[in-house]
């Protein structure tokens, strides 16, 4: 886990002027090194994917001083050396509030340059202005089984991959399941992070009760969103040994930003209910 002090949990003064220096990177390698069987080198990672960030509180001034608003979607590739610390991103975006840009394209270029630099990799970014806000929808995956309707007893709330198992006597299947019960905690502030997690795989059938118990076992776990999804992927990958695997978590918005990491075996299609153009294949 990253040990460098961050802005999370600290009282700060919100900036009044554009300030890219506010952005703070968090190295991915240290958290990845803690995962069983996972080499921190990107050359040996068992997955591809991205982290999809949506920022809903983005504003600036046009050339006449009139405030403009937008929703920004940022996709950071899985193999970037760093992710961006969420509170630093919020502060950075707020530093644009009194900054003049001639056009939305100038805002987009500014964000692309600053965020690519902080994560150490080329990012994909889109900006949606107010007239397109009505296209923002929350969609559930099609033809996916909800795990949460099972009538099971649960008494473990710390990560326990021993719950994961398959029936090797059965034929290989392709299956899509999801749960709305994923919860973890911020490792710095202790605040709860809530998500639905979507799992697609091809392999011998994974026991649904065990999979749900495993997902719930992360309830008191401390980890950043991206690290939790990589932990889910790696534990399912090593314990259940599917031929292909996709794990995608949609976290609820906090501080005007939601973070949605996706990890999958190479060649796997990205979630169909998100733009596919920036999938890292």
Q: Closest Cα partner for 123 from 100, 89, 87?
A: 89
* SS3 per-residue string spanning 89-113: HHHHHHCCCCCECCCHHHHHHHHHH
Task: Exactly one of 79, 126, 167, 186 is catalytic; name it.
Answer: 186
3-class SS at 144? coil
Residue 254, φ and ψ in degrees, nearest 5: -140, 130
CA dihedral 135, 137, 143, 146 (to 10 degrees): 170
Residue 145, φ and ψ in degrees, nearest 5: -90, 130
- DSSP one-letter string for 161-191: GGG--B-TTSPPEEEEEEEEEEEEE-TTT--
Please state the separation of Cα 214 from the chain's center in Å.
19
Specify the DSSP element, H or E, that contains 155.
Answer: none
Q: Is 186 known to be catalytic?
A: yes
Q: How many CB atoms lie within 10 A of CB 101?
A: 18
Task: Exactly one of 193, 200, 234, 258 is catalytic; name it.
Answer: 193
Listed in order, strand segments (DSSP E) in 111-237 are 124-129, 145-146, 173-185, 192-203
Question: Which residues carry out catalysis?
Answer: 186, 193
């Amino acid at each position: 886990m990253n040990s460098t002090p961050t802005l999370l949990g600290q009282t700060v003064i919100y900036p009044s002027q554009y300030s890219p220096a506010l952005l703070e990177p968090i190295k991915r390698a240290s958290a990845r090194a803690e995962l069983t069987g996972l080499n921190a080198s990107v050359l040996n990672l068992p997955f591809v994917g991205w982290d999809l960030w949506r920022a809903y509180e983005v504003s600036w001034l046009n050339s006449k001083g009139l405030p403009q608003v937008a929703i920004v979607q940022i996709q950071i590739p899985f193999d970037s050396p760093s992710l961006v610390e969420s509170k630093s991103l919020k502060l950075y975006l707020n530093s644009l509030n009194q900054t003049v840009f001639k056009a939305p394209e100038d805002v987009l270029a500014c964000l692309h340059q600053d965020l690519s630099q902080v994560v150490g990799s080329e990012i994909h970014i889109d900006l949606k202005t107010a007239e397109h806000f009505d296209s923002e929808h929350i969609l559930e995956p099609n033809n996916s089984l909800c795990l949460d309707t099972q009538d099971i007893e649960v008494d473990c709330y710390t990560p326990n991959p021993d719950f994961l198992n398959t029936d090797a006597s059965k034929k290989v299947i392709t299956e899509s399941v999801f749960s709305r019960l994923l919860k973890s905690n911020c490792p710095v502030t202790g605040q709860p992070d809530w998500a639905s997690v979507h799992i697609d795989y091809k392999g011998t059938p994974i026991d649904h009760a065990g999979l749900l118990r495993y997902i719930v076992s992360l309830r008191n776990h401390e980890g950043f969103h991206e690290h939790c999804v990589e932990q889910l992927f790696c534990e399912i990958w090593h314990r259940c040994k599917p031929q292909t695997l996709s794990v995608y978590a949609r976290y609820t918005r906090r501080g005007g930003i939601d973070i949605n990491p996706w990890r999958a075996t190479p060649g796997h299609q990205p979630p169909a209910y998100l733009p596919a153009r920036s999938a890292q294949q």
